[in-house]
Amino acid sequence: MLKTETITINMGPQHPSTHGVFRMVLTLNGETIVDLKPMFGYLHRGLEKTSESRTYLQAVPFTDRLDYICSMSNNFAYAVAVEKLAGIEVPLRAEYIRVIMAELTRLVNHMLAVGFLFNDLGAWYTPVVYAFRERERILDLFEMASGSRMMCNYIRPGGVAADLPAEFLPQLRKMIPHLENFVREIRFYLSDNEIFKARAVGVGFLPADMAVAYSITGPVLRASGVKYDVRKAEPYSIYDQFDFDVPTQVAGDVYARYLQRLDEMDESLKILRQAVERIPEGEYATKVPSRLRPPKGEAYARIEAPKGELGFYLVSDGSPNPYRWRNRPPSLINLSALREMCLGHKVADVVTILGSIDITLADVDR
């Protein structure tokens, strides 16, 4: 009788495809996964506590650093929360600018998610380079408007930091058809690829009921077939004025998540087209004192960030510093289902599944 042993492998914290400092303790039977224990916290910076000793405005740059790929949406969520707490009205133009930025961020994030998924699958950097190319163009727009590519610090409580520069909208108008071409090219290039399908179809299956039980949100949830999107379920900002769909998939595997992201990119472009057409002139922000003292109370606001539902919970005791500053990071909560998705698959699949959940470790550990 042949006797076999399981081996335990530490994947990470330094590993090329854990997307940051993330550690998984894998118990392997040959190459099959018997057990997986995710361990995180290597990147903990105490952002919540730090922000509690800063003013409401000073915490905005910290939100950039939660999920550094989509800083604009983090700003957005935080701004919505502060506005809810302090009862601030936002001018219409500012709302449009916010929507434009949030959708551009979604594009950036999904591009990278798709690109890095292929990196994890072993495509020699080509899809990721294509994704980076387009991302760079969008980040140029961010830089034009906010002065920084990634740490935008642009969407503030009360509106945005400054009005859009004059070249922004023409540039964006030129870019939308280009981005549509890009999505089309990616579909043409990768969607039918037999090797990719062999790797992705049926791998990392997350049933709809389990996804809800784990409170997964975002593209991962929708790829499992649950039609839930904060933009529709609880419209914030001006999302109820746009005409867009919430795409869903059926299969709930890695391939479905990939398709889901491409579909969402199409929808984002649809929203962008409408926003660019309809954006009004006017004020870009209501004046908010830099040492804002919201009335005593608490507020929770959530938005549909590219990775899922991003929420901020703020408690004010009437002083300029928040009493409690808490955020619900989509990456962390989506990551919680990793074990269920991986059991019984191969080592190579862990990497793919992790890539398809699309996490940012800065968001997980905060």
Partner 1 sequence: MQVLDDLWIRIAVWFRGLLESFLPPWAVQLTMDVLGILLLIVLGIVVVLAFTYMERKVIARVGDRIGPNRAGPFGIFQAIADAIKMLTKEDVTPTNADRWLFLAAPIVVIIPAVLLYAVLPLGRGMVGVDLNIAVVFVVAMGGIPILTMLMAGWASNNKYALLGAFRTVAQLISYEVPMVVALLTVVLLAGTMSTVGIVEAQASFPFALVTPVAFVVYMLAGLAELNRTPFDLLEADSEIVAGYFIEYSGMKFAMFFLAEYINLFMVAGMITTLFLAGWQWPILPSWLWFLIKVVLVIFLMMWIRATFPRFRIDQMLGFAWKALVPLSLINLFLVALVAKVLEPGWVRTGVLFVSNLALLAGAIAIMAQVARKREERARAAGEAAIKRYYGSEVR
Partner 2 sequence: MYGKGIVKGLWVTLKHIWGTYAKDIKRFPRRYAPGGIAKRTDYDLYGLFTLQYPEERYEMFPRFRGALMHLRNPETGEPNCTACGACERACPHGVISLEGEGKGKDRKVTAYRYDLGRCIFCRLCVESCNFNAIELSREYELSRYKKDFILELDDLLKIGDKYGIHKTGEAWGVTE
Residues that bind partner 1 (CB under 8 A): 7, 9, 15-17, 30-31, 118-126, 129-130, 133, 193-199, 201-202, 205, 207-210, 212, 224-226, 249-253, 255-256, 346-349, 351
Query: What does the DSSP assignment read for 137-190?
Result: HHHHHHHHHHS-SS----EETTEESSPPPTTHHHHHHHHHHHHHHHHHHHIIII
21, 57, 208, 347: which one binds partner 2 (CB under 8 A): 57
Asked if 137 is part of the footprint of partner 2 (rule: CB under 8 A), the reply reads: yes
CB-facing half-sphere around the CA of 34: CA atoms within 13 A? 9
Cβ atoms of 301 and 311 within 8 Å: the answer is yes
Q: How far is the CB of 118 from partner 1 (least distance, A)?
A: 6
196, 239, 244, 258: which one binds partner 2 (CB under 8 A): 196
Residue type for 332, please?
L
Query: What does the DSSP assignment read for 344-361?
Result: TSBHHHHHHHHHHH---H
Asked if 146 is part of the footprint of partner 2 (rule: CB under 8 A), the reply reads: yes
Residue number with CB closer to partner 2 (190 or 271): 190
Q: How far is the CB of 348 from partner 1 (least distance, A)?
A: 5
Q: How far is the CB of 258 from partner 1 (least distance, A)?
A: 11
Asked if 197 is part of the footprint of partner 2 (rule: CB under 8 A), the reply reads: yes
CA-to-CA separations, 50 to 62, 231, 295, 326, in angstroms, rounded: 9, 30, 21, 11
Asked if 225 is part of the footprint of partner 2 (rule: CB under 8 A), the reply reads: no
Report the candidate in 210, 198, 248 with the shortest Cα–Cα distance to residue 349: 198
Piece in contact with partner 2 (CB under 8 A), picked from 96-104, 140-148, 215-223, 240-248 = 140-148
- d(Cα 184, Cα 179) in Å, to the nearest integer? 9
250 binds, among partner 2, partner 1, none (CB under 5 to 8 A by kind): partner 1
Cβ atoms of 4 and 29 within 8 Å: the answer is yes
24, 26, 28, 60: which one binds partner 2 (CB under 8 A): 60
State the pairing for strand pair 23-29/7-11: antiparallel
Residue number with CB closer to partner 1 (168 or 205): 205
Piece in contact with partner 2 (CB under 8 A), picked from 24-32, 137-145, 217-225, 343-351 = 137-145
- d(Cα 61, Cα 58) in Å, to the nearest integer? 7
